[in-house]
């Protein structure tokens, strides 16, 4: 497993991270613990969760695992604060949410504390000050953001620099063969500003696996059935075209679609770490296999063309 510095922080994260969104929603606590054991055995040290994941159940599961395994000093623990019930990302809200997350995670600090989404209703300076408070109090080693646009990240960086607040050290964009918007502004900006990039959904939340069909409802029990909001992101004509083209290419080249999709993200420059979600140990093994068997330049070029 490769380890990379996250932005300008003192955090060194594994090139593959554990996305904990499935914990407490799609898999139970014991299965989640088994998955985390497997991830740690493979050298994965980045665990990413959020207060928004199933009313804190994901954080509680991660906290139990960290406590029982006594591995707090061996993991890079990341969580997020989001918008809920009309509550914005105010300084007071960030302070309160962070304390609740720390309690669920059974720790005195997190390594990376992120805002889950951009908040139009709260002044950016107030949000930035709330994040800075956490760093100054030792409750977070670094701060980051998720689902920002390039323009929003630019504003956050300038705000922190002008007010001497803790600087955003990482962004977390959705990035895969059918969601490449980050390439136009976010990735170049992060490279120029030395901001770490932690991508998520390399398989498009399962969209690229071929289980979803155009003009048909998602299979019962699938990710898009459990979380219908994913449909608005992925159920578009062009995305279905790309998924079908990748599936056809998989048959042609003899490489599985998950290997193609995962390998394409893993081999992209400018990515610090890629979060992989899992419902079982086999999903961890699938990602590790893709990482250990890089795609050829010809295959990567073909995927770039198919998904352009």
Catalytic annotation, residues = 53
Cβ–Cβ < 8 Å for 168, 156: yes
Cβ–Cβ < 8 Å for 179, 152: no
Phi, psi of 20 (to 5 degrees): -100, 20
Residue 116: closest CA among 73, 159, 87, 136: 87
Cβ–Cβ < 8 Å for 116, 82: yes
Task: Report the run of H or E that residue 5 belongs to, with start and end.
Answer: strand 3-5
Instruction: Return the half-sphere exposure (C-beta side, CA atoms, 13 A cut-off) of residue 14.
Output: 24
Name beta bridge partners: 13. 4
154, 184, 196, 267 from 188: Cα distances, Å? 11, 7, 11, 16
Cβ–Cβ < 8 Å for 261, 202: yes
Distance spanning both ends of the chain, measured CA to CA: 29
Token pair of 282 as six digits: 């086999």
Residue 47: closest CA among 133, 95, 105: 105
């Amino acid at each position: 497993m490769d380890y990379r510095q996250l932005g300008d922080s003192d955090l060194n994260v594994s090139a593959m991270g554990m996305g904990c969104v499935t914990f407490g929603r799609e898999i139970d606590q014991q299965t989640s613990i088994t998955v985390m054991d497997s991830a740690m055995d493979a050298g994965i040290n980045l665990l990413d969760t959020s207060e928004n994941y199933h009313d804190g159940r994901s954080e509680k599961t991660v906290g139990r695992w960290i406590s029982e395994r006594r591995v707090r000093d061996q993991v890079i623990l990341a969580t997020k604060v989001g918008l809920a019930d009309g509550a914005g990302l105010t300084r007071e809200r960030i302070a309160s949410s962070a304390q609740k997350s720390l309690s669920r995670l059974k720790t005195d600090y997190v390594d990376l504390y992120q805002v889950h989404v951009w908040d139009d209703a709260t002044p950016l300076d107030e949000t930035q000050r709330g994040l800075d408070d956490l760093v100054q109090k030792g409750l977070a080693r670094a701060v980051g953001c998720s689902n920002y646009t390039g323009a929003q990240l630019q504003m956050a960086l300038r705000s922190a620099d002008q007010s001497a607040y803790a600087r955003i050290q990482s962004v977390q964009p959705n990035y895969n063969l059918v969601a490449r918007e980050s390439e136009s502004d976010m990735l170049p900006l992060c490279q120029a500003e030395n901001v770490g990039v932690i991508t998520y959904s390399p398989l498009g939340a399962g969209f690229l696996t071929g289980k979803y069909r155009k003009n048909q409802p998602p299979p019962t029990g699938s990710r898009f059935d459990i979380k219908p909001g994913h449909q608005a992101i992925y159920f578009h004509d062009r995305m279905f075209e790309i998924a079908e083209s990748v599936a056809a290419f998989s048959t042609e080249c003899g490489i599985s679609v998950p290997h193609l999709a995962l390998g394409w993200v893993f081999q992209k420059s400018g990515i610090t770490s890629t979060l992989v979600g899992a419902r079982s140990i086999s999903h961890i093994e699938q990602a590790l296999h893709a990482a250990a068997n890089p795609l050829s330049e010809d295959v990567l070029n073909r995927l770039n063309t198919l998904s352009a």
